[in-house]
Structure 1
Amino acid sequence: MGAGWAMGWLLAEMLTAAPEPRVVSALEKVRPGVELKGEKEARLSLARGECEAVQVVLPPGSARLKVKPLALRGPEGKTLEASVWREAYLDVKTPSNSQGGTGLWPDPLVPVESPPGPEGAPTVLYVELCAPESQAPGTYQGALHVEAGGKALAPISFTAEVQPFVLPATSSLPNSFGISLYSISKAHGLKPESSEARALLRDYVGALLAHRVTAHGMSMEAPPVRFEGGKAVVDFSAYDAEMSPFLEGSALDSGARFTTADVRDNKSARTDAEKSAYYRAFAEHFRQKGWKARLFFYAKDEPKPEDVALVRTQALRVRAAKQDVPVLVTAPLDDALRGSADILAPTLNCFFPRPGPQTCRNVVPLQTLRGKLEPHVKVWWYQSCNSHGCNGGPTPDAAAEKVYSGWASYMVDHPTPLNRAMGPLAFLSGVDGELYFDTVFAYNTKDPWKDVFEFGGNGDGTLFYPGTPARQGFSRHQPVVSLRLKHIRDGLEDYEYLRLLESLGEQTFAREAARRLTRSGYEVETDARQWEQVRREMTLRLRKRWEASEYAKRSGVRPK
């Protein structure tokens, strides 16, 4: 009896010493009091040129974490290395709307060794695998080993299937998200002109590019110019030092490049003729460099009626340069601006009519809009508080609240599928590109670690957090990526899957798959299981088509 009791006690001790973590889909947000079904092991599928992740939820009370490096082994001893972060939490005081909520929401991805979150916050690891284009296809396996408070937790088995097909390193969907050296410098307590601030800006912009996002703004410094005989003589040396790595593809090992670049206006160009000469020199410099990014001129943002004359004048100056530099105008269809925009960018809610009060003054479906524009005009879109509501919290008017709900959204306190939806939605609609006004806006106004509430939404214009040496867990200045930026990237990878399917003859299947995820801008599937199912079906269809295509190339037989 004594021996049996001792064996039982030992078994209980072993079980207590090795509690089992749970693996949860990256399409969920792990919050206090929200029960999510977890798995004992992680299974992922990713293309070459893609990143995929899961969340590992550790047992309650896990603290002082230590994670051993995770490298999965695959064909012929090849390895696939993982990156691991700990999810930090924001305490949301005012919900973005009725789809949001107060309380703790995960968003910043901090070093594993960072201090535990506030009381009641789950302990969650975000584990990401990225397969470069050169990665050998096949099955990779390994185990994640975690210590919490000096005790080893049960290891988590990882299996990753690297698919044979490849996603391009550079986004196929042009985009442009704002970022500012001055905002970054303010939050990090650095002088904007310092070499440390400039290097930090490169880190931030590199992080955006690693998530398939192109930046505009950056240092905001226009290259110096002087005028000789009506010609603009521009010194591009400082501009090239800042921009070249991102335009030529040397900033990242993947070779990813910016899809777009904005013309930086120069106050030294005073007359219309000087401005046109300056724009001409800018475009000629891009052409000489062979940069593939689409250069564009960002006209007055969200012009009011009194700004119409300015926008029309700006467009005339750019066109007088007689170069292919599109003028981007952020406005819905407006007869007063007709002919001024080469890229027209209304807000997302301007494309999808729905019952109830409208949140855009001129709602026009994309195909109808194209019919009202000149053939050369491209159509982009962007998110604004016109989607989630500009005042914060649920709107008392039920009809108004309904029209501010359901939209694709980059807010912290909205479901992950809403954060991810813009990619599939872009494919389904056929829009030409995406704009976003800022990624570090809250750096100017508050401590983002405590609050990113701006324009009625939690995280509107802020996709990063400032990691500084003064903050526990950080030894240097660095950008802290948000979960939402990961979800934006995943949506852009969904776009690549759909586009690749279309290129391989599966247009009908691709459109049906996209429609199952995003029927319209405000009808987004929020069930993570449905997103995972659609992705599995796309992967199987792509693999079949890709292998048939590769066989055809080798054998000369046309695939059926």
Structure 2
Amino acid sequence: MPSIRPLRLALLSLSVALPAFAASPAVWGEGLMVKVRPESAARSATEVRLTAARNEFVSFQVALHGGDSGLQGVRARLPSLEGPTKLQGPDVTLYREALVTTKKASVAGEPVGRWPDGLVPDTDEVAGEQRTAFPFDVPAGEARAVWVDVHVPKDAPPGDYTGTVTVEAAGGFQRQVTARLTVVDATLPSTSSLPSAFLLWPPHVCRAHTGREDCTPQELQPLLARYQRMALEHRFTLSSLFPRKPWPPAWSDFDATWGPYLDGTAPTRLPGARMTSLEYVGPLDAQNLRDFTAHMKAKGWLDRAYVQLGDEPPYGTSFEQVHATAELVRQAAPGLRTLLTTNSHEMGNHDLEGLVDSVVPLVNHLDGTEGTFRGDQRDTYTDFLKRPGTALWMYQSCMSHGCAYGTNAPENKPGAGWPSYMLDRSSAKARAMEWVTFLEGATGELYYQSVGMLSTAWTDQYRFNGNGDGTLFYPGTPAAIGGTTDVPVASLRLKLIRQGMQDYEWLKAVSDAGDPGFARKVARELIPAASRVPDDGAAFDAARLRLIQRHQELTAGAEPAPDAGTPPDAGSPTDPTDAGTPPEDVAEGPPAETPTVRPGEDAEAGAPTGGCTTGGGGSAAVAGSLLFAAWALAGARRERARKKVCQRPG
């Protein structure tokens, strides 16, 4: 028998002589729930599928991998989505995702390095100017992404819409990703049904955009108004962005600047969007409180105005100061709402129930894991809420990731943890807060700061032990993004907060249409407890689709079908930057007692203290949504509803 050794040697020589396989650059469609980091692997989905109501935003991504050669001079365009009408112009916006490099993780165990967050627009949504999103390069062996926003106008007919994102690069490189959008017969309100008060300290904006500390109101107010417009287009309100000096302001100037945002006449893409809160930021003395309240009442804005009694007593403010301020407000401005960041236990222990109108506990204290706050604490607010005019709001702080490094580790294990607005946490964490708010029966959301590190946002946002804590915007100076007009630039997290706000609208819509139990069931199956927010973007998208389907059944006359429970498992990836492998072709006191620093401001820096798919879930999320659609809508009686809600089979 002849030896096979020579044959083996020949084969070995042949294998050595063969050139290594060269990885080509790749472009693919991705949902909004995946953070495309430079380390992300290439995928192959050529479509994304989206579902939306009228007056709703949907988002998706077009991701690129440089392969072995890299890509130079990348540009992307999406002229329109066409269907029963054409969606184009300001309703379609493309952004380049800028990277922020973290040096220390917000939560131990999260990757340190480059994270996508700042969204440099192609044509910005505020001034309408061309910016420097394109062209850009994709290094060899790395990934980058383009973010796409689509706003469905209020008058857009329901139906199917299709658009093509074309990506081009040097050397004749061209790829396309198809976006298929189903618009259902429903309309989301322009003004969020969930009031919010996201705080903004104006000197931070002055410093970031001018390099100075002494902006005049004439310089600052137009810029602040642009920040308010962007906030309203992301369905939340910047409640404290008014310049503090001079005070009182010239009310005619105040009304001219802020009246359109309070009355719903500002030129936002959400027509009629109004601010849902307005903080008194003047001196805490009787005359100024009285004059402010009288003006708010005369203009019809008093129902949204409030004054903070303090910040997290006894840490930010003493309980004695809280009592003094509350009694002053009750005497001088009895119609002005009072707000305090505290919890039911402290409120009872310090006799504050009759002095506080809006109580705002931490999410960690409303559905907690430790001591007095272990388990759902909603019932401890029942008696307080019986008094007319009271409200329960909620907020998150550095306690979501750990105000001291490494704390809260038991909750922040892989696949779980608190809602969080940190840029190096999963997309699901940033989308979850409004779901938890709904589950707890809270009716508003507070966030302590939105521009805390605006001046260094492009390079460093590490604050209160978290990357992005209190910084949700980027300064869109001409030096940073081109153009001639200074504008705010959205973070990727703003888009996820907006998605959470829109999810809340669907939860409320199903409840208002007659099935609050279903809405609560869907939300609780998604988030078993506030400390157990999953990282699975597909689960969020599937839950949203269930809400849309149920709403269509309740409002379109289709015979309701019993909920069949949890949809088939589409995969639950634990890596917050990776939602799984896609299918091959589809991604789916009196003045003397008044402190010199207002509650919620830092004495040293003047900074507030404190601690079917919508383009979501990535490729696996979209695939999961398609799985869900096929599963949830099975049966002849549901066929009519299916045609109204979900995308067509792939």
Q: How much has 1:389 moved relative to structure 2?
A: 0.4
Matching residue's letter, 1:133: K
Alignment of 1:262 onto 2:279: yes
Corresponding residue of 1:542: 551
Corresponding residue of 1:294: 304
| Range with greater deviation from structure 2 (157-166 or 16-25) | 16-25
Alignment of 1:413 onto 2:434: no
| Range with greater deviation from structure 2 (474-483 or 129-138) | 474-483
Asked whether the equivalents of residues 108 and 480 of structure 1 are also in contact (C-alpha less than 8 Å), the reply is: yes
Q: How much has 1:125 moved relative to structure 2?
A: 0.6
Match of 1:95 among 101, 105, 118: 105
The structure-2 alpha-carbon separation of the partners of 1:119 and 1:369, relative to structure 1 and needing over 3 Å to count, comes to farther
CA-to-partner distance for each residue in 1:219-252, whole Å, 9 max, x for gaps?
Answer: 3336745xxxxxxxx8412221232121001122
Corresponding residue of 1:386: 399
Match of 2:336 among 325, 329, 334: 325
CA distance in 1, matches of 2:83, 2:26: 25
Match of 2:533 among 505, 524, 529: 524
Matching residue's letter, 2:478: P
Alignment of 1:54 onto 2:71: no
CA distance in 1, matches of 2:245, 2:182: 46
Q: How much has 1:62 moved relative to structure 2?
A: 2.7
For the residue of structure 2 that corresponds to 1:259, the secondary structure is coil
Corresponding residue of 1:336: 350
Match of 2:201 among 164, 170, 180: 180
CA distance in 2, matches of 1:150, 1:299: 62
Gaps of 5+ in 2: 1-21, 122-132, 559-650
For the residue of structure 2 that corresponds to 1:386, the secondary structure is helix
Corresponding residue of 2:30: 24
| Range with greater deviation from structure 2 (255-264 or 110-119) | 110-119
Alignment of 1:283 onto 2:296: no
CA distance in 2, matches of 1:527, 1:408: 13
CA distance in 2, matches of 1:312, 1:63: 62
For the residue of structure 2 that corresponds to 1:64, the secondary structure is strand
Q: How much has 1:489 moved relative to structure 2?
A: 0.6
Matching residue's letter, 2:324: T
The structure-2 alpha-carbon separation of the partners of 1:39 and 1:86, relative to structure 1 and needing over 3 Å to count, comes to same
Q: How much has 1:84 moved relative to structure 2?
A: 0.5
CA distance in 2, matches of 1:404, 1:167: 31
For the residue of structure 2 that corresponds to 1:523, the secondary structure is coil
Match of 1:237 among 243, 252, 255: 252
Q: How much has 1:508 moved relative to structure 2?
A: 1.7
Q: How much has 1:517 moved relative to structure 2?
A: 2.0
CA-to-partner distance for each residue in 1:169-217, whole Å, 9 max, x for gaps?
Answer: 1111111001132111101125521645332211111111110111122
Match of 1:45 among 37, 47, 51: 51
Alignment of 1:308 onto 2:319: yes
Corresponding residue of 1:84: 94
Alignment of 1:214 onto 2:237: yes
CA distance in 2, matches of 1:108, 1:52: 18
Asked whether the equivalents of residues 340 and 360 of structure 2 are also in contact (C-alpha less than 8 Å), the reply is: yes
Q: How much has 1:34 moved relative to structure 2?
A: 3.5
Asked whether the equivalents of residues 389 and 404 of structure 1 are also in contact (C-alpha less than 8 Å), the reply is: no
CA distance in 1, matches of 2:313, 2:138: 43
The structure-2 alpha-carbon separation of the partners of 1:148 and 1:293, relative to structure 1 and needing over 3 Å to count, comes to farther
Match of 1:138 among 147, 153, 159: 159
CA distance in 2, matches of 1:301, 1:121: 44
For the residue of structure 2 that corresponds to 1:493, the secondary structure is helix
| Range with greater deviation from structure 2 (185-194 or 39-48) | 185-194
CA distance in 2, matches of 1:450, 1:153: 32
Q: TM-score, normalised by structure 1?
A: 0.84
Corresponding residue of 1:5: none
Asked whether the equivalents of residues 97 and 405 of structure 1 are also in contact (C-alpha less than 8 Å), the reply is: no
CA-to-partner distance for each residue in 1:369-410, whole Å, 9 max, x for gaps?
Answer: 213525233111111111210134x35x96587699700100
Corresponding residue of 1:347: 362
CA distance in 1, matches of 2:482, 2:375: 49
| Range with greater deviation from structure 2 (78-87 or 95-104) | 78-87
Q: How much has 1:475 moved relative to structure 2?
A: 4.4
Corresponding residue of 1:198: 221
Q: How much has 1:141 moved relative to structure 2?
A: 1.2
CA distance in 2, matches of 1:296, 1:404: 37
| Range with greater deviation from structure 2 (365-374 or 112-121) | 112-121
Asked whether the equivalents of residues 504 and 546 of structure 1 are also in contact (C-alpha less than 8 Å), the reply is: yes
CA-to-partner distance for each residue in 1:508-528, whole Å, 9 max, x for gaps?
Answer: 211111112222211112212
The structure-2 alpha-carbon separation of the partners of 1:219 and 1:294, relative to structure 1 and needing over 3 Å to count, comes to closer
Corresponding residue of 2:627: none
Q: How much has 1:448 moved relative to structure 2?
A: 1.5
Asked whether the equivalents of residues 182 and 219 of structure 1 are also in contact (C-alpha less than 8 Å), the reply is: no
CA distance in 1, matches of 2:415, 2:240: 29
CA distance in 2, matches of 1:211, 1:99: 30
CA distance in 2, matches of 1:135, 1:293: 33
CA distance in 1, matches of 2:86, 2:365: 52
CA distance in 2, matches of 1:312, 1:403: 42
For the residue of structure 2 that corresponds to 1:145, the secondary structure is strand
For the residue of structure 1 that corresponds to 2:199, the secondary structure is strand
Q: How much has 1:70 moved relative to structure 2?
A: 2.1
The structure-2 alpha-carbon separation of the partners of 1:331 and 1:159, relative to structure 1 and needing over 3 Å to count, comes to same
Q: How much has 1:363 moved relative to structure 2?
A: 5.6
Corresponding residue of 2:170: 149
CA distance in 2, matches of 1:455, 1:404: 23
| Range with greater deviation from structure 2 (66-75 or 428-437) | 66-75
| Range with greater deviation from structure 2 (101-110 or 111-120) | 111-120
For the residue of structure 2 that corresponds to 1:498, the secondary structure is helix
CA distance in 2, matches of 1:59, 1:181: 39
Identity, in percent, stands at 32
Q: How much has 1:37 moved relative to structure 2?
A: 5.3
| Range with greater deviation from structure 2 (406-415 or 38-47) | 38-47
Corresponding residue of 1:370: 381
Match of 1:450 among 429, 438, 459: 459
Matching residue's letter, 2:29: V
Q: How much has 1:473 moved relative to structure 2?
A: 4.5
Match of 1:129 among 141, 150, 159: 150
Gaps of 5+ in 1: 1-15, 226-233, 270-274, 550-560
Asked whether the equivalents of residues 27 and 62 of structure 2 are also in contact (C-alpha less than 8 Å), the reply is: yes
Asked whether the equivalents of residues 217 and 243 of structure 2 are also in contact (C-alpha less than 8 Å), the reply is: no
The structure-2 alpha-carbon separation of the partners of 1:42 and 1:317, relative to structure 1 and needing over 3 Å to count, comes to same
CA-to-partner distance for each residue in 1:488-525, whole Å, 9 max, x for gaps?
Answer: 01001000001000111121211111112222211112
Corresponding residue of 1:462: 471
Cα RMSD after superposing both structures: 2.8
Q: How much has 1:143 moved relative to structure 2?
A: 0.9
The structure-2 alpha-carbon separation of the partners of 1:364 and 1:286, relative to structure 1 and needing over 3 Å to count, comes to farther
| Range with greater deviation from structure 2 (68-77 or 81-90) | 68-77
| Range with greater deviation from structure 2 (317-326 or 134-143) | 317-326
Q: How much has 1:432 moved relative to structure 2?
A: 1.8
Q: How much has 1:77 moved relative to structure 2?
A: 5.7
CA distance in 1, matches of 2:44, 2:415: 32
The structure-2 alpha-carbon separation of the partners of 1:125 and 1:39, relative to structure 1 and needing over 3 Å to count, comes to same
Q: How much has 1:295 moved relative to structure 2?
A: 1.1
Asked whether the equivalents of residues 222 and 266 of structure 1 are also in contact (C-alpha less than 8 Å), the reply is: no
Q: How much has 1:64 moved relative to structure 2?
A: 1.9
| Higher relative contact order (CA closer than 8 Å, sequence separation 6+) | 2
CA-to-partner distance for each residue in 1:238-273, whole Å, 9 max, x for gaps?
Answer: 221232121001122411001111122236x4xxxx
Asked whether the equivalents of residues 394 and 444 of structure 2 are also in contact (C-alpha less than 8 Å), the reply is: yes
Corresponding residue of 1:489: 498
Q: TM-score, normalised by structure 2?
A: 0.73
